[in-house]
Structure 1
Amino acid sequence: MADSPIRRVLVVGGGITGSTLALALARRGVHVILVEARRELGGGGHGITLQGNALKAFHSVGILDELAEHGFAFDKLRMFRADGVPLMEMPAPPMGGPGLPPTMGALRARLADILARHVTAAGVDVRTGTTVTAIDDRGHSVVAGLSDGSTETVDLLVGADGIRSTVRSMIGIDARPHSVGMGIWRVIARRPAAMDSSGVYYGGPKYKAGYTPISEELCYAFLLESNLDRSFVGEHPNGKILKEHGQGYGGVWGQVRDSLADDAIVNYQYIEAVLVDDPWFRGRSIVIGDAAHACPPLIAQGAAMCAEDAVILAEMLTGGDDVEQVLPKFMRRRLPRVRMVLENSLLLAEWEIHPDTPGADPGGLMGRTLGALCEPA
């Protein structure tokens, strides 16, 4: 690490963004305090699709090899009619560069557990069951009050606390998530032998259905439809309901649906989005990841954008410049890329909801977006 005036950083939130940032900073010699409201790091969640740029970020913090032992790598996306008839096959572009898989499916809980172990091993000061209650920016430092009654004086405070970020509002950024107008069912199931890549099914009774293999044994399947009653939100033994809502889809997706037990645990969430305008920071406090730019999962770039934020911020903070120089440079580097992904994801969602929109070209927009993301972050 170059001589850097940034020695102590408080990271709020121990999800993918916060854990990746904490690990990246610790590996570069920064003292990191990571506070997480939950009682422990890791665990939880469904499947996740990690494209090459996400894998590049995880490689940079030293967790990719372990993740690859448990995940499922592939190099294409297959598109089908609702009845399972193939439409086209799209090669997955090498967004992580040579030597890395184009895409990998993984169990989100596995990724979280791997990050948690590496964060702890790197010497990060992890405080679970704790969050920030006060932020006092003193110009040359930030004094943060924590829910355990302690205070910490740091060079930078980073809010990585998700789409409903507390830090975002505490530092005076008035941005709130909005509903995209669709909800998503997610479930973990046994992987049929024929499933060797992500697949998406169009033209059925709902907006879209699809899946991603996440290990040799398991897959992650999803169904997009309109917003349902709030009672469905969360994780419930709703396998029977998902099977009912997923009627009208065949092929491998239909096999996955039919394999579900009636009481299978299914996650349903409203799809929401938020984008904080430039800047994402106030003084020596900044929000990153979903706290700054949560996007619909239509391009499968949510985790990638979060992980890129984390490793790039760590790189720039330890490059020798002071915080006041780093944060505007970070914004200039990140905002155009993040805005493109979010706006294109929102447009794809709009086209899913209104498929007869004149000029709608989901495949073309997807291809252009992924092609642009082959450029280094």
Structure 2
Amino acid sequence: MPRHAPAILVLEDGRTFHGRSYGAEGETFGEAVFSTGMTGYQETLTDPSYHRQVVIMTAPHVGNTGMNDEDPESSRIWVSGFVVRDPARVPSNWRSQRSLGDALREQGVVGISDIDTRALTRHLRERGAMRVGISSADTTVAALLERVRASGEMAGANLSEAVSTTNAYVIPAVGTRRFTVAAVDLGIKTNTPRMMSERGIDVHVLPATSTIDDVLAVQPDGLFFSNGPGDPAATTGQVELLQAALERGIPYFGICFGNQLFGRALGFGTYKLKYGHRGINQPVLDRTTGKVEVTAHNHGFAVDAPLEGSTTTPYGEATVSHVCLNDDVVEGLELRDAGGALKSFSVQYHPEAAAGPHDAAYLFDRFCDLMGLDTTRSSLASHSTTEGER
């Protein structure tokens, strides 16, 4: 079979695109989603949140800077398939160690090129994300369409355990240790614990199957839930863990999937977006500061919470703290006590975005401030108790 064999892409509604094989040859299936970033494809490919998804790049020319060993967000490429219009023939960057096409082939990722990704993206915006198949092994449209419709759907899929670490590990604090955080890996990206460690945090990365006892064993000052793939409504164990932590008053910070699970722990529902948010150019309003941030997104589900007012929960008063300015999707939650003090918070987007933008990096500082306040409260409570016993 020639290196650039004919290939086809077939959506579950029958829409078909003919192109050339890119990356590994063969056949693959997943949920078709599009990413609007003009750069950062290496971080996208290695983001575990893309497990079982076929990513369409809306930027027409992809692969210019090649691939290196410094920028991956995990140990492997996670996308089920990759779709580009014009792949770079020769990468040109001083950090490049291999071409994007070679990296895809080495890791067995089936892709397709030379198709109209603009038309494909417009179709998904109108019809919504759906299942898709790519094949350079069998270019019979009817046969591939049948296999696409028999493949698994994203709704109802519990995938975090498939991408999580199996063994706990520690990313030590850089410099003086200020705090200890239990970070539950639901598909964590490399840059997340790195950004916490740079702020003096010992990060204990725990498997997705961890219990409240596993969390308490590291004596954390705070609990963190990472990004990850799948349907938040299909996840129960992590929600129960988070509720147990909230009952104990442990400060919490969640990102992406961690925001959706926080919403569920507070009693809100979640729902599947028509085509989701993916890319590095999404405008979000932080209602606590009144500032607009340009942010990195990768989510197909969202929290169903009231945009106005607060909701009383067993753990405190919950409010929507961040909103997407494109479509009013909930992009963050806050939990406060009766006196209005912040107890826990989460955001739907990615403040750790390695490829940028970095507008939201301050949220890691907000987490440190929250843990510092909690430590102060605990110290004052302990002192008051001691004084009362004298």
* TM class, shorter-length: under 0.3
Structure 1 or 2: more helix by fraction: 1
Larger Rg belongs to: 2
> TM-score with structure 2 length normalisation?
0.25
